[in-house]
Amino acid sequence: MPKSPERASDRPYHHGNVREAVVAAALEVLARQEPSAVSLRDLARTVGVRHSALYSHFRDRSELLAVIAGEGFSALLADLNASPPDRGDRIAELAAAYVRFARAKPAYYRAMFLPEVSRPENIKHTQDACERCLQTLIAALHPCSAASPKETHERAIAIWSTLHGLVLLGDNAGPLHQQIAPEDEVAIASRIVQVLARRAWPPS
């Protein structure tokens, strides 16, 4: 009988890669359950080390989640940058890449926007990649209009906020899951950002 695929939790870990092993084990939990299910004690048991060993790598549970969130923002940035800048509407392409990322990597996405990730002691893990994601949106907006820097910044925040809301509403546990067909999400996201990028912006 063929051997079943080995799970990350079945493999022994060497002392040198405990940090990576804990992150991988936590992502497995986040892929199946809510972030509240992530427990350092359970993760230590999964990885096969003492609970106290984890504190050499993470101050506490919130820092572990912030590290995962930082990896998530870096992965999102890579996906946004991989979107061809010269094919069609750049801002629509970024919107499509955003939704595809959220659906392809839900474990990362669930960690990226947790309140504890933005605590002052944790923000260092996410701030740079998050800011670069925002700057990518801002750069894509420049060809759409001759808006002031302030207005362009506001439009970028409005676009990100709207995309985030669409992802949450259409999530498997979201209130509009039955109303938003998965195959329509990318098209909806692209249309939304095109409107937000070009419509008249009320003066502040």
Q: Where are the domains of the chain?
A: 7-58, 66-198
pLDDT at 184: 93
> How many residues does the structure list for the chain?
204
* Same fold flag, 7-58 and 66-198: no
CATH code of the domain made up of 66-198: 1.10.357.10
In single-letter form, the type of residue at position 123 comes to I
**Element at 27 (helix H, strand E):** helix 18-32
* pLDDT, tens only, 92-114: 999 999 999 999 999 999 999 99
pLDDT at 9 (0 to 100): 43
Render pLDDT for 56-78 as a digit per residue (tens, 0 to 9).
Answer: 899 999 999 999 999 999 999 99
Q: Say what the pTM is.
A: 0.87
Low-confidence ranges of the chain (pLDDT < 70): 1-16, 84-88, 145-146
Domain 7-58 adopts which CATH fold? Arc Repressor Mutant, subunit A (1.10.10)
Q: How far apart are CA 56 and CA 62, in angstroms?
A: 14
* Dihedral angle computed from the Cα positions of residues 190, 195, 201 and 202, in that order, rounded to the nearest 10 degrees: -110
Phi/psi-derived region of residue 38, left when phi > 0, alpha when psi is between -120 and 50, beta in every other case: beta
